[in-house]
Amino acid sequence: MAAQQEQAGLRETATIAFPGTEAPGTAWDLYNQMIEGIPDGVFVRDYCLGLNWSYVEADCGMGVAFTVRGGGKRTYKMDLRGMELRQVAELSKSWCFQGATLDIVSLKAE
């Protein structure tokens, strides 16, 4: 029980940040605009980073996309269930293509 409460506390305060991607006039502008379009208060219910296909189910719907492999090592390993969809969508700025797959799926769920 204590572990679940601790994980919930981490989920509330954890942020997914990729420095250097916030500045306007960069190649990240399109991603930033799409992420900003996700309303506050929409949470991830379930997700799956599958071998071939991945999905994110959120309060507003579900997105499905082909899983892209490669890129950098996946460093973000927290459970994404219960996190805000907008926060999960920040994974699009990851050089880990598996994480970026979850973002694209998140944007489709919105």
Lowest mean pLDDT among 37-41, 64-68, 70-74, 85-89: 70-74
pLDDT of residue 2: 39
Mean pLDDT of the chain: 78
pLDDT surpassing 60 at residue 5: no
Q: Is residue 77 part of a domain?
A: yes
Q: Is residue 27 part of a domain?
A: no
Q: Is residue 32 part of a domain?
A: no
Beta-bridge partner residues of 66 = 53
Report the CATH number at residue 58.
3.30.390.100
Distances (CA, A) of 84 to 2, 5, 15, 42, 81: 22, 17, 10, 6, 9
53 is in which domain, residue-wise?
Answer: 2-16+38-109
Q: How far is CA 3 from the centre of its chain?
A: 23
How many distinct structural domains can be found in the chain?
1
pLDDT tens for 55-77 read 999 999 999 989 888 887 777 77
